[in-house]
Structure 1
């Protein structure tokens, strides 16, 4: 009897160790998948604060919360089931869909650069007050998030496409929840940074006043910096997706050229070679993204002009 009990306990311990190892594997895979989606995550973080510009301070966090819940619904209830079905029954479609998303990222990045150069950048309007206006604002933000979330989830799925179905499900759930918490947690901090600064600036302490004033003054620069990083990340990630995609589809020359230059720099610079090689790969991917994005911008503008001429 005791022998059977100890055998059972031993089996339970073995299962526990296996489960722990599986959790570690899921966490590691989710981390790798999230890193690949970093460009879209930065863009998502840069875009969302624009939706609460002009909103009353007491409504900022509730609006961010509603958008975050909508984003989680987008990822878990819409995108995740479709992505899993696709990877299970039509895995060959993943690369073309990923490349389409990469081209869209390149287009967005190039369009933002063109807007700055041409002086036709989009400017956000002050949000009207009232529950109906707030509802419309949140709905628009959630629709935009659907596109960005789809890119995040497909990029992540492509990194774990060879995993078993249940592992894929667990990994993507971790990615969906983790990235949503990260993005909207950071957004909440950003949108309240000026309020924290104002509160500190009104205190009697000279140090608190100095810190508060610094926070308020830093807010415009921080938002501008996030926008720049987001644009660069879109071009880098989009270009890299396209390079890997054409390589997977059989055109190896572009990816091999970038990889060869990365390895050459890595081998030539010794201790800093790994960082320098990554910079070379990132810069060349961004150049590819900018070229492809610029071409798409030209096509979109030509189509728009033709439609305008016909109307």
Structure 2
């Protein structure tokens, strides 16, 4: 009887060790997948603050919360099941789908660039008034646009993470991707919330008795409009960069190696020409710049097509009417 009990305890201990090892493997794989997606996470963090520009302070955190919930819903409800099913039964479809999403990102970025040159986009006069001052419809419109753009970035994040854990069995893969979705959403929107509330923190510091705190507070208040404006520009560039890079890699994956080969050759030439760490940075910048140019070119073509097509004109007319009402 005692021998049987000790044997059972040995089996339990063995299972516990196996479970612990599995948890360690999942933790390591999650860290690797998250690290690989870090580039797109940075882009997502840069893109999002522009959507709360112009809204009243009391609505900033609620709006970010709504966008964060929409982002998590994008990842868990829509992207994760679709990515797992496609990777299981039709992995060849992942690249074309990502490229379609990348084309949309390029379009969004090019549209913003076009708007800044023509004065019919970005934060023009129609957007200077706080969103909440014109009613909840404007806020809903803005949140919907933010969640729609987030869908593309979230899809890229999840697919990058999926590629890093493709060798895992289905259940660990599912657990890892859920953890990645939760962690990345919390990090991105936690940072965004900190950024947009930095001016409020500055006001609190400016009211302290400490001279140092007052100087820091005033600097934060004075610098926040410039930071938000810079983040808006970074967000636009990020859309073009990420979209262009997805298209660049996608064409190579699908067998058209010319453009990717040229960009890769230029990156390697800069890297080896300069050498050391600086060469690596300049090589990365070369690839990034080429991706952004590709994104701008593709986006400009799509913007032109959308302006020529009847439904594109209608959509633009409706958007302008909405901006005029705002």
SS at match of 2:121: coil
TM-score normalized with structure 2 length: 0.81
Aligned counterpart, 1:110: 110
Aligned counterpart, 1:83: 83
1:270 and 1:14, CA in 2 relative to 1: closer, same or farther beyond 3 A? same
Post-superposition offset of 1:306: 8.6
Render the CA deviation track for 1:251-293: whole Å, top value 9, x for unaligned: 1111011111111222222213221211111111111111111
Aligned counterpart, 2:52: 49
1:165 and 1:92, CA in 2 relative to 1: closer, same or farther beyond 3 A? same
- Number of matched pairs: 302
Aligned counterpart, 2:192: 187
**Contact residue 102 and residue 241 of structure 1 kept, 8 A:** yes
Q: Which residues of structure 1 form unaligned runs of 5+?
A: none
SS at match of 1:128: helix
Aligned counterpart, 2:323: none
The equivalent position to 1:302 in structure 2, one of 295, 304, 308, is 308
Structure 1 vs Structure 2 CA RMSD: 2.7
Aligned pair 1:284/2:268, yes or no? Answer: no
Alpha-carbon distance in 2 for matches of 1:109, 1:185: 24
**Contact residue 197 and residue 213 of structure 1 kept, 8 A:** yes
Render the CA deviation track for 1:237-258: whole Å, top value 9, x for unaligned: 1111111111111111110111
**Contact residue 76 and residue 176 of structure 1 kept, 8 A:** yes
Structure 2 counterparts to residues 172-183 of structure 1, below 5 A: 172-183=177-188
Alpha-carbon distance in 2 for matches of 1:150, 1:306: 21
Alpha-carbon distance in 2 for matches of 1:190, 1:37: 15
Render the CA deviation track for 1:76-114: whole Å, top value 9, x for unaligned: 223322332333333222111111111111112222122
The equivalent position to 2:20 in structure 1, one of 5, 11, 16, is 16
Render the CA deviation track for 1:162-220: whole Å, top value 9, x for unaligned: 34433432232223212221222122212222222222223343323222221111011
Post-superposition offset of 1:12: 2.8
TM-score normalized with structure 1 length: 0.85
Alpha-carbon distance in 1 for matches of 2:313, 2:14: 72
**Contact residue 202 and residue 219 of structure 2 kept, 8 A:** yes
Alpha-carbon distance in 1 for matches of 2:190, 2:220: 18
**Contact residue 71 and residue 145 of structure 1 kept, 8 A:** no
1:157 and 1:76, CA in 2 relative to 1: closer, same or farther beyond 3 A? closer
Structure 2 counterparts to residues 52-67 of structure 1, below 5 A: 53-55=54-56, 57-67=57-67
1:237 and 1:128, CA in 2 relative to 1: closer, same or farther beyond 3 A? closer
SS at match of 2:132: coil
Post-superposition offset of 1:11: 4.8
Alpha-carbon distance in 2 for matches of 1:95, 1:228: 28
Aligned counterpart, 1:293: 299
Alpha-carbon distance in 1 for matches of 2:312, 2:268: 46
**Contact residue 40 and residue 148 of structure 1 kept, 8 A:** no
Aligned pair 1:166/2:171, yes or no? Answer: yes
The equivalent position to 1:30 in structure 2, one of 24, 30, 34, is 34
Aligned counterpart, 1:225: 230
Post-superposition offset of 1:146: 3.4
Alpha-carbon distance in 2 for matches of 1:189, 1:26: 25
Q: Which residues of structure 2 form unaligned runs of 5+?
A: 318-326
SS at match of 2:197: helix
